[in-house]
């Protein structure tokens, strides 16, 4: 990058959320950012640094498929050289999601070549950009554009095409978990049924990351949610928490088969949309409560059981049975503005306090064994987030 382009990049008052150096201004002859000095001269790259140069990365790598805590290991490698259209990114935080686990187990729809770095989402900060990079700037926060980037590492050199910028005025945890679950919830509530304030959505796995985003986005739009969760000793606590973020009703899976459902439908209309992240019996029970012509959208299969559709639901209620995969949606919209528009809308909700990250357990990289095991345990109700 030429000096004349470097200066505007760094002379905007660097908003260094989460760093200790906030807002150094840049002079024409030298750029001082948190103690690092870049002397004016034949500069071909722009820099931002909060410490010594980042030359290596510690990553959670798997070389074969299997039980995550057995096949994943911590490895440190030298970073490759920065190329013209690539950016050096320091990762800040990255969640452990079910799709990450499935990828490591070798059971996900797309599998990276091995060896692979784990992690499909997360947020990082751009430290350095190559001479032809146009879409990200030094200091920007970035998230992956697509699945399979390998976010469980302290730093990486990524192609700029693989990155999307996000605002740095939201929390690290919100940014780290923005690109998959809230996007999935947003699209499912927007693209399949025309939902108006006062309409109802029913969903299982309502305490999942997706489920909590559904509750909050629906509440912001005035849409009722019937949130189905598995029974557990601390059910009341979970119910209170989901209601506090906007759930209209929180019920146990067993309640779906009970007459008290009729009481709910005296107050709010039957759902136009059912969101299924579980499969098996749970999905079938959701279907029974849909209104005529409604849609059941399957986005996850946590129970690892097929979806059975009662014949009557098809014949007499003409329900639509659909699926959704946010990865495919992002690929389909790679060349338009839809992803950016959605991320802006989601960040507006976050800033307004209407969309928060799910409860998280922050874990250092070296504690990855415990984090991977916890991510696979039932009833944990807390997203494991690796902090770098």
Q: Which residue of 90, 230, 272, 289 would you call a contact of ligand NAP, by CB under 6 A?
A: 230
Kindly report the number of other CB atoms within 10 A of residue 136's CB atom.
Answer: 19
Indicate whether 379 belongs to the interface with ligand NAP (CB under 6 A): yes
Provide the phi-psi class of 34: left if phi over 0, else alpha when psi is between -120 and 50, else beta.
left
Indicate whether 277 belongs to the interface with ligand NAP (CB under 6 A): yes
How many residues contact ligand NAP, by CB under 6 A?
Answer: 26
Q: How far is the CB of 283 from ligand NAP (least distance, A)?
A: 10
Q: Is position 62 annotated as part of the catalytic site?
A: no
Q: What are phi and psi of 154, to 5 degrees?
A: -75, -30
Indicate whether 383 belongs to the interface with ligand NAP (CB under 6 A): yes
Assigned token pair, 28: 């024409």
Q: How far is the CB of 311 from ligand NAP (least distance, A)?
A: 24
Q: Which of 47, 62, 108, 299 is catalytic?
A: 108
Q: State which of positions 62-101 bind ligand NAP (CB under 6 A).
A: 97-99
Give SS3 for 279: strand
Choices 114-122, 146-154, 295-303, 312-320; region in contact with ligand NAP by CB under 6 A: 295-303
Whichever of 138 and 297 has its CB closer to ligand NAP, that residue is 297
Cα-atom radius of gyration of the chain, to the nearest Å? 23
How would you label 295-319 residue by residue, b for 16+ Cβ within 10 Å and e otherwise? bbbbbbbbbeeebeeeeebeeebeb
Nearest to 88 by CA among 55, 51, 40, 122: 55
DSSP class of residue 80? P
Indicate whether 154 belongs to the interface with ligand NAP (CB under 6 A): no
Q: How far is the CB of 333 from ligand NAP (least distance, A)?
A: 13
Q: Which residue of 299, 330, 342, 357 would you call a contact of ligand NAP, by CB under 6 A?
A: 299
Indicate whether 265 belongs to the interface with ligand NAP (CB under 6 A): no
Contact 176, 246 (CB under 8 A): no
Whichever of 317 and 322 has its CB closer to ligand NAP, that residue is 322
How far does CA 306 lie from the centroid of its chain?
25
Contact 156, 92 (CB under 8 A): no
Which positions are catalytic?
A: 108
| Interacting residue ranges for ligand NAP, rule: CB under 6 A | 97-99, 180-181, 184, 205, 207-210, 230, 277-278, 299-303, 324-326, 378-379, 381, 383
């Amino acid at each position: 990058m030429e000096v004349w382009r470097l200066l505007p990049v760094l002379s905007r008052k660097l908003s260094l959320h989460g760093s200790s150096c906030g807002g150094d201004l840049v002079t024409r002859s030298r750029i001082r950012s948190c103690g690092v000095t870049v002397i004016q001269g034949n500069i071909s790259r722009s820099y931002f640094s909060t410490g010594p140069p980042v030359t290596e990365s510690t990553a959670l790598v798997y070389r074969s498929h299997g039980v995550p805590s057995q096949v994943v290991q911590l490895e440190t490698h030298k970073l490759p050289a920065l190329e013209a259209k690539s950016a050096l990114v320091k990762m800040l935080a990255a969640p452990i999601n079910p799709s990450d686990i499935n990828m490591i187990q070798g059971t996900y729809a797309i599998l990276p070549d091995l060896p692979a770095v784990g992690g499909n989402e997360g947020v990082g900060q751009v430290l350095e950009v190559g001479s032809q990079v146009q879409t990200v700037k030094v200091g920007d926060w970035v998230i992956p554009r697509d699945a399979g980037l390998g976010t469980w590492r302290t730093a990486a050199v990524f192609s700029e095409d693989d990155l999307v910028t996000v605002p740095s005025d939201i929390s690290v945890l919100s940014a780290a978990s923005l690109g998959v679950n809230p996007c999935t919830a947003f699209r499912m509530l927007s693209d399949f049924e025309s939902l108006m304030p006062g309409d109802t959505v029913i969903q299982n796995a309502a305490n999942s990351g997706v489920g909590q985003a559904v509750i909050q986005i629906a509440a912001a739009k005035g849409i009722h949610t019937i949130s189905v969760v598995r029974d557990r000793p601390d059910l009341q606590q979970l119910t209170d928490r989901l209601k506090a973020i906007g759930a209209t009703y929180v019920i146990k899976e067993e309640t779906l088969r009970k007459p008290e459902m009729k009481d709910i439908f005296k107050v709010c209309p039957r759902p136009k949309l059912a969101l299924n992240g579980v499969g098996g019996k749970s999905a079938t029970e959701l279907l029974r409560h849909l209104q005529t012509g409604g849609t059941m959208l399957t986005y996850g299969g946590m129970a690892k059981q097929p979806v059975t559709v009662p014949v009557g639901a098809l014949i007499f209620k003409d329900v639509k049975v659909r699926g959704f995969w946010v990865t495919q949606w992002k690929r389909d919209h790679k060349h338009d503005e839809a992803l950016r528009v959605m991320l802006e809308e989601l960040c507006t909700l976050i800033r307004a306090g209407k969309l928060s990250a799910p409860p998280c357990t922050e874990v250092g990289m070296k504690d990855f064994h415990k984090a991977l095991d916890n991510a696979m345990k039932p009833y944990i109700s807390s997203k494991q987030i690796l902090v770098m």
